[in-house]
């Protein structure tokens, strides 16, 4: 019995929503970054599922996933650099408290 | 009997992914969140293997578990904060939230489960050769742009955390 | 009715094969580690002109068992830790990828755990998961020296992954497949990859030394630096697991070197008796393990900044040059590997001859600067 494509998409959707909830609810900047990674992973899962099960041409979905890996790695590196710089300025990672640019 | 292995594995991986993802968001201690995130990445790699995309699964483990988790652990280590409980469960809006979330969830589930496998898809074998051909032939220019992006991110991250030593 | 190997029903053979493979690997890894601990002490002793363990058993052969019994009996000290679960999990996270690496290594024609067509990529992936365990071990120990040792070790491991992977990619360019079985089969008889790509072998060996935290790159776990680095708070059986992981990783790196450059199981009479391949493979692998130990006994330790500059300033440009030259030559002369071999030997000669010359000039210039500044 083959697992239907819809099941993979449903798992991807659930993970994406969990990640979104994490971004919206949590205040710690590093946890927000982690939730963003969860969302990216959910997208990767959906793309690979479609590429392997839906298209019969080639692996273009997987190619896009490779580029998402690259972008996610770059984003985490720069994001953590920003968080660490902000921490050095004022020793907190609570995004509610980093509000010096607020009007 | 061997027919049921794939759905059983899929069910196991799904439970692990959803539970670990929820754990990342809900855990009180940030270190638990980081390790559960690594666990989620490993399970997603398992899903990739289940789909037959083993090269992408290897890249997933190599990049996410091997590098991004270490980066996040460095971030966790260098920004210590005492874990205080956050008010997730005592908001007054949770009933309204449930009211909105349930129809959206049903709608999304219906849309998700309506996708069907393409009729022309058969057992396709590994994904190494088509993936490599696509990346280095059809998408060679985005590949070069991606390497420039990585270089820029590397330089940018180093510059951002450099201390101004006067 | 399909008949499996040795006439066993295939439905029974599948799980039975799994059980046999697991028992074999566990037996090999643990016995290999026992043998390596003994060999290391004896070989270091011989090179250092002393005798090594002598009293426990004939020629000190039971020394490892004595060590194991002592380690098992040690008190499980757990200081006030940052995180109990991380502390407990770290040895497993370092040990498991090493154990999982044995799946794709071809011991003999037909005897391989799983012929993944991305076998080499699988091995590099597992090598990168060790970093996680080391970082967690260093941080969970609630000890400044452990933390610094763990971060240094993680930095070393991550840095040396790059020349390691580029060397492997160079070999894959020449061979054309990522599958370990395919690479092993592409070197029949005397046509070893070593004759074609010696520079990749040298750079991979150096990077492998650093990846396994082995001398001369063993700064994170050396006893005269930072107490014992990220291993400080681990005593008894937990320390033993880290060390098993290190010796197992040494064996894995040696196996990879054997497969990629020295024709895994090829040797005399292996076409007639396929199982003889296991003997040739083991001999070649343990030859490289002995070279690891020889290097440990001979070379002094590198400082962390010397280590990093060796990686980023010497090995990475070298491996990248090797990769570009190999790829270009393979495109220009598609059917033969002789130009690649010539270019590689020239580059290797340049590396071996030019580098000490450059270093000596830099040292002389540095001494001049210091003398005129003083």
Mean pLDDT across B68-87:
80
A35 to B25: CB separation less than 8 angstroms, yes or no: yes
ipTM score = 0.91
Nearest residue of C to residue B80, measured between CA atoms: C82
Residue B66 has its nearest CB partner, among C117, C121, C131, at C131
- B49 in contact with A, Cβ within 8 Å: no
Q: Is the pLDDT of residue B118 over 80?
A: no
- For C97, residues 6+ apart whose C-beta sits below 8 A from its C-beta are C126, C127, C129, C130
3-state secondary structure chain C: CCCCHHHCCHHHHHHHHHHHHHHHHHHHHHHHHHHHHHHHHHHHHHHCCCCCCCCCCHHHCCHHHHHHHHHHHCCCCCCCCCCHHHHHHHHHHHHHHHHHHHHHCCCECCECCCCCCCHHHHHHHHHHHHHHHHHHHHHHCCCHHHHHHHHHHHHHHHHHHHHHHHHHHHHHHHHCCCCHHHHHHCCCCCCCHHHHCHHHHHHHHHHHHHHCCCCCCCHHHCCCCCCCHHHCCCCCHHHHHHHHHHHHHHHHHHHHHHHHHCCCCCCCCCCCCCCHHHHHHHHHHHHHHHHHHHHHHHCCCCCHHHHHHHHHHHHHHHHHHHHHHHHHHHHHCCCCCHHHHHHHHHHHHHHHHHHHHHHHHHHHHHHHHHHHHC
Mean pLDDT across C13-21:
75
| Nearest CA-CA distance, residue B140 and chain A, Å | 11
Mean pLDDT across C128-153:
83
Q: What angle do CA C202, C203, C204 make, to 5 degrees?
A: 90
- For C234, residues 6+ apart whose C-beta sits below 8 A from its C-beta are C91, C137, C141, C242
Residue C121 has its nearest CB partner, among B35, B38, B58, at B58
Q: Which residues of A touch B51 (CB under 8 A)?
A: 8, 48-49, 52-53
pLDDT 10s per residue in chain A (103 long)? 788 888 999 999 999 999 998 998 888 899 999 999 999 999 999 999 988 887 666 778 889 999 999 999 999 999 999 999 888 888 888 887 777 777 6
Q: Is the pLDDT of residue B149 over 90?
A: yes
Residue B58 has its nearest CB partner, among C122, C132, C135, at C122
Q: Which residues of A touch B48 (CB under 8 A)?
A: 45, 48
For residue B122, what pLDDT band results from cuts at 50, 70 and 90? Answer: low
What pLDDT is stored for residue B18 in this prediction? Answer: 94
C128 to B74: CB separation less than 8 angstroms, yes or no: no
B53 to A62: CB separation less than 8 angstroms, yes or no: yes
**What is the C-alpha to C-alpha distance for residues B152 and C159, in angstroms, rounded to an integer?**
18
Q: What is the largest CA-CA distance in chain B?
A: 70
What pLDDT is stored for residue C144 in this prediction? Answer: 76
Output phi, psi for C278, to 5 deg. Answer: -60, -40
Query: pTM for this one?
Result: 0.89
Question: CB–CB of C310/C302 below 8 Å?
Answer: yes
- A97 in contact with B, Cβ within 8 Å: no
Question: CB–CB of B165/A88 below 8 Å?
Answer: no
Residue B68 has its nearest CB partner, among A59, A72, A84, at A72
- Which CATH fold would you assign to the domain B1-112? 1.20.120
Reduce the DSSP state of residue B25 to 3 states and report it.
helix
Mean pLDDT across C304-314:
88
Q: Is the pLDDT of residue C149 over 60?
A: yes
B117 to A4: CB separation less than 8 angstroms, yes or no: yes
To the question of domain A5-89 being in CATH 1.10.287.3510, the answer is yes
Considering only residues 9 to 48 of chain A, which have any Cβ-Cβ distance to chain B shorter than 8 Å?
Answer: 9-15, 17-19, 21-22, 25-31, 33-35, 37-38, 41, 44-45, 48
Considering only residues 85 to 124 of chain B, which have any Cβ-Cβ distance to chain A shorter than 8 Å?
Answer: 86, 88, 105, 108-109, 112-118, 120-121, 124
Q: Is the pLDDT of residue B69 over 70?
A: yes
Q: Is the pLDDT of residue C300 over 90?
A: no
Tokens of C167: 């060397």
Chains that touch A (3 or more CB pairs under 8 A): B
Lookup result for tokens 């710690």? A28
- A86 in contact with B, Cβ within 8 Å: no
B66 to C129: CB separation less than 8 angstroms, yes or no: yes
B78 to A87: CB separation less than 8 angstroms, yes or no: yes
Chains that touch C (3 or more CB pairs under 8 A): B
For residue B21, what pLDDT band results from cuts at 50, 70 and 90? Answer: very high
Boundaries of every domain in chain B: 1-112, 126-166
B62 to C125: CB separation less than 8 angstroms, yes or no: yes
Percentage, residues of chain C above pLDDT 70: 92
Question: CB–CB of C197/C340 below 8 Å?
Answer: yes
| Nearest CA-CA distance, residue C116 and chain B, Å | 9
Nearest residue of C to residue B126, measured between CA atoms: C117
- C136 in contact with B, Cβ within 8 Å: yes
| Nearest CA-CA distance, residue C278 and chain B, Å | 28
């Amino acid at each position: 019995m083959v697992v239907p494509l819809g099941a993979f998409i449903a798992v991807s959707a659930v993970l994406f929503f969990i990640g979104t909830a994490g971004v919206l609810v949590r205040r710690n900047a590093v946890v927000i970054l982690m939730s963003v990674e969860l969302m990216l992973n959910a997208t990767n899962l959906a793309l690979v599922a479609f590429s392997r099960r839906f298209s019969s041409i080639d692996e273009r979905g997987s190619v896009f996933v490779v580029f998402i890996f690259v972008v996610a790695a770059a984003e985490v590196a720069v994001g953590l650099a920003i968080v660490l710089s902000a921490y050095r300025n004022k020793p907190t990672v609570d995004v509610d408290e980093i509000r010096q640019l607020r009007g | 009997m061997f027919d049921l292995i794939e759905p059983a594995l899929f069910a196991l991986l799904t439970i692990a992914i959803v539970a670990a993802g929820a754990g990342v968001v809900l855990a009180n201690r940030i270190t638990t969140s980081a390790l559960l995130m690594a666990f989620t990445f490993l399970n997603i790699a398992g899903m990739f293997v289940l789909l037959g995309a083993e090269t992408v699964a290897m890249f997933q483990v190599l990049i996410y578990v091997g590098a991004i988790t270490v980066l996040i652990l460095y971030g966790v280590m260098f920004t210590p904060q005492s874990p205080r409980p956050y008010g997730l469960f005592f908001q007054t809006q949770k009933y309204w939230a449930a009211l909105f979330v349930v129809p959206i969830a049903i709608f999304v589930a219906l849309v998700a489960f309506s996708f069907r496998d393409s009729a022309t898809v058969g057992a396709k074998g590994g994904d190494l050769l088509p993936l490599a051909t696509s990346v280095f032939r059809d998408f060679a220019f985005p590949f070069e742009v991606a390497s420039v992006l990585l270089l820029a991110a590397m330089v940018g991250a180093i510059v951002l955390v450099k201390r101004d030593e006067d | 009715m399909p008949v499996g190997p040795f006439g066993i029903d295939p439905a029974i053979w599948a799980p039975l094969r799994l059980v046999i493979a697991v028992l074999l690997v566990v037996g090999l890894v643990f016995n290999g580690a026992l043998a390596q601990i003994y060999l290391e002490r004896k070989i270091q002793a011989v090179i250092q002109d002393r005798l090594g363990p002598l009293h426990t058993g004939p020629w000190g052969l039971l020394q490892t068992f004595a060590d194991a019994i002592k380690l098992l009996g040690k008190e499980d000290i757990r200081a006030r830790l940052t995180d109990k679960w991380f502390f407990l999990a770290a040895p497993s996270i370092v040990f498991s990828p090493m154990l999982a690496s044995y799946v794709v290594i071809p011991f003999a024609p037909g005897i391989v755990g799983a012929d993944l067509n991305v076998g080499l990529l699988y091995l590099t992936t597992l090598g990168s998961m060790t970093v996680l365990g080391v970082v967690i071990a260093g941080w969970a120990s609630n000890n400044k020296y452990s933390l610094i040792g763990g971060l240094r070790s993680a930095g070393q491991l991550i840095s040396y992954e790059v020349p390691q992977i580029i060397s492997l990619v160079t070999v894959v360019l020449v061979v054309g497949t990522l599958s370990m079985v395919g690479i092993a089969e592409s070197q029949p008889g005397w046509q070893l990859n070593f004759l074609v790509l010696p520079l990749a072998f040298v750079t991979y060996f150096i990077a492998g030394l650093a990846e396994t935290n082995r001398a001369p790159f063993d700064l994170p776990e050396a006893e005269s630096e930072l107490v014992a680095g990220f291993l400080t708070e681990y005593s008894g059986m937990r320390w033993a697991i880290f060390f098993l992981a290190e010796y197992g990783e040494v064996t894995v790196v040696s196996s990879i070197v054997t497969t990629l450059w020295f024709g895994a199981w090829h040797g005399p009479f292996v076409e007639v008796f396929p199982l003889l391949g296991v003997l040739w493979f083991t001999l070649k692998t343990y030859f490289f393990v002995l070279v690891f130990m020889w290097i440990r006994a001979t070379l002094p330790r590198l400082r962390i900044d010397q280590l990093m500059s060796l990686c980023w300033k010497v090995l990475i440009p070298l491996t990248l040059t090797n990769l570009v030259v190999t790829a270009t030559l393979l495109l220009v002369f598609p059917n033969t590997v002789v130009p690649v071999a010539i270019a590689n030997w020239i580059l290797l000669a340049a590396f071996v001859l030019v580098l000490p010359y450059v270093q000596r000039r830099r040292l002389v210039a540095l001494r001049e600067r210091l003398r005129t500044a003083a």
